[in-house]
Structure 1
Amino acid sequence: MTAPHSPGASTPPGDQDAPALSIAVVAALPQTAPPLVEALRALGHRVPVVIGHRRPADWPGHVLGEHDLPPGVDLAVPSRTEAVAGLLHAYAVDVAVSYGYPRKLPAAAVSAPRLGTVNCHPSDLPSYRGPNPVGWAVRNGEDRIGVTWHRMDAELDTGSVLARTTIALDDQVWSFTGVNSRVLEAASEMLPQVLRRLVRGDEGEPQPQREDTWAGFFTEDYATVDWSAQATHIHTQVRAWNIAGHHPRVQGPVAVIDGTRWRLRRTTLTQPPLGTGRRVTCGTGDLWVLAADPLD
């Protein structure tokens, strides 16, 4: 996939890739930090440190550990986000590259690297700002999502754009991990362009001013499955929740089957092989539950 240049971001004749830089990666998950480190090192840059995040008490998976990183890359896990600025200053990095970090970085951290901090967001900003962009894209029936690199500023997902592209969001993708691999591939291909613009002092393009672009966590109003709804609606609801991943406060999608509460993991609108799944008649059409976790 070749990512299109943003308007005004064409490479002048003779302009080469960015010189070797010292770059900190700010990412909390083993699915995100190692591929970014690998992509940056493949471009000839040095990654002295990855800044991770402490595992929340209710987190169901595992967070990034030192064994996930290659030799020569430190892992720093600050107890609070206010400490991130000090870490970036201590490592004296040129750039910080953020991807999916679960906390808002303070302004002091964003401005600590010599050339600033950039973030990759899986939407076509300013659409779907916030912590759940892909979940909302699925919920709204999108078949493509954006991938945007932007400068970080004091707010969330509002900084000027350095590079963007779009990728397919087909109905075969059912998990954060599945989406993440595609987003990272597209994001990595845009990194040379992003770093060139930083080195040139290019501020990027300001995002258009738009209202109602926030993509927050799903709430209770979308957490319960109503079997009287259309089968397609329920199928989308299940996929949206599973792509959204872990929710810190609300569990979904929850359905009652034969008097038992289940969290639905996978459904299909087409009849699976004999003996596979559980058919449920919905308001319009049938849905087959392929995977679910009991809650009672």
Structure 2
Amino acid sequence: MADAPSLRVAVVAALPQTAPPLVDALRARGHRVPVVIGFRRPADWPGHVLGEHDLPPGVDLAVPSRPESVAALLRAYAPDAAVSYGYPRKLPADAVSAPRLGTVNCHPSDLPSYRGPNPVGWAVRNGERTIGVTWHRMDAELDTGSVLARTTIPLDDAVWSFTGVNSRVLEAASAMLPQVLRRLVRGDAGEPQSQREGSWAGFFGKDYATVDWSAPAAQVHTQVRAWNIAGHHPRVEGPVAVIDGTRWRLRRTALTQPPPGTGRRIACGDGDLWVLAADALD
């Protein structure tokens, strides 16, 4: 099936791992990307947010001081459509409706399951072996708009970081973009989200931040993986464990013994766990 005609598409994304691949995917299909709407770095953000050096020539970077400024920026660039991915703030209704054909968002879950800012972290916490990737129209609420395309990808134990999950999600999302844009051009409203009860995937709280070594080893292992895939938390640090009287943030663990000289063996409630990487907090 033919791609949509060449469109002016704004990208709304905050990270260097997300915006450039979306720009590349759109341009490879013959669309023009005049601007990426980025995000001002919070004072407590541990990494760097998207910078102008991350984007190819000819693509502007606009960094609004507040979400209420996004609508005016989009109107100034007059895009036919906007594509959002992983933006850390809810877009106001006037921003969502500013592009001529509307705004679409990619969410890494099978909506309406795992709406919110931490869908993959909760999927790992709940023992899911796959995750959904859903393109939906944006509306005034969060992750509730009608669906334009969806698929499912594996969530296997080899994935341990936001970056690792993000690369898989973006690959699947980019493959669906032509279908999504065709539906926008046709004025297709999309399918309302399933009537099954949705679930909310908020940031992990303090109740999940501390490691209890008396718990089963697999449970602790899952907790470590879930926190590391979830990435930066604006208020709570985890998973934190005490080893020999020192507090550590655990980065990587293993349920099977690693090569000699690698990792630290810890006795858990039903067996051993090996700590492979951690950062001292004290």
TM range (shorter): over 0.9
For 2:51, the equivalent position in structure 1 comes to 65
- The one-letter amino acid paired with 1:129 is R
CA distance in 2, matches of 1:219, 1:241: 11
- The one-letter amino acid paired with 2:167 is S
User: Is 1:195 matched with 2:177?
Assistant: no
The structure 1 residue matched to 2:3, chosen from 17, 24, 33, is 17
C-alpha contact 2:218 2:255 (8 A) present in aligned 1: yes
CA distance in 1, matches of 2:56, 2:2: 27
For 2:225, the equivalent position in structure 1 comes to 239
Gaps of 5+ in 2: none
- The one-letter amino acid paired with 1:141 is G
- The one-letter amino acid paired with 2:240 is V
**1:166-181 correspondence runs (5 A):** 166-181=152-167
User: Is 1:156 matched with 2:142?
Assistant: yes
* Per-residue Cα deviation, 1:189-240 (whole angstroms, up to 9, x for no partner): 0000000000000000000234450000000110000000000000000000
CA distance in 1, matches of 2:64, 2:76: 13
C-alpha contact 2:115 2:198 (8 A) present in aligned 1: no
- Partner of 2:121: helix, strand, or coil? helix
Shift of 1:17: 1.4
- Partner of 2:22: helix, strand, or coil? helix
- The one-letter amino acid paired with 1:287 is L
- The CA RMSD measured in Å over matched residues stands at 0.7
For 2:26, the equivalent position in structure 1 comes to 40
TM-score, length-normalised on structure 2?
0.99
* Per-residue Cα deviation, 1:116-135 (whole angstroms, up to 9, x for no partner): 00000000000000000000
The structure 2 residue matched to 1:276, chosen from 250, 253, 262, is 262
User: Is 1:136 matched with 2:122?
Assistant: yes
C-alpha contact 2:111 2:198 (8 A) present in aligned 1: no
C-alpha contact 2:112 2:199 (8 A) present in aligned 1: yes
CA distance in 2, matches of 1:230, 1:128: 25
C-alpha contact 2:11 2:19 (8 A) present in aligned 1: yes
C-alpha contact 2:112 2:198 (8 A) present in aligned 1: no
Identity of aligned pairs, percent?
87
**1:87-126 correspondence runs (5 A):** 87-126=73-112
CA distance in 1, matches of 2:64, 2:34: 16
CA distance in 1, matches of 2:179, 2:167: 20
CA distance in 2, matches of 1:210, 1:27: 29
CA distance in 1, matches of 2:271, 2:141: 44
* Per-residue Cα deviation, 1:126-182 (whole angstroms, up to 9, x for no partner): 000000000000000001000000000000000000000000000000000000000
TM-score, length-normalised on structure 1?
0.94
- The one-letter amino acid paired with 1:82 is E
CA distance in 2, matches of 1:212, 1:47: 33
* Per-residue Cα deviation, 1:13-46 (whole angstroms, up to 9, x for no partner): xx63100000000000000000000000000000
- The one-letter amino acid paired with 2:166 is N
CA distance in 2, matches of 1:34, 1:105: 20
For 1:263, the equivalent position in structure 2 comes to 249
For 1:80, the equivalent position in structure 2 comes to 66
User: Is 1:147 matched with 2:165?
Assistant: no
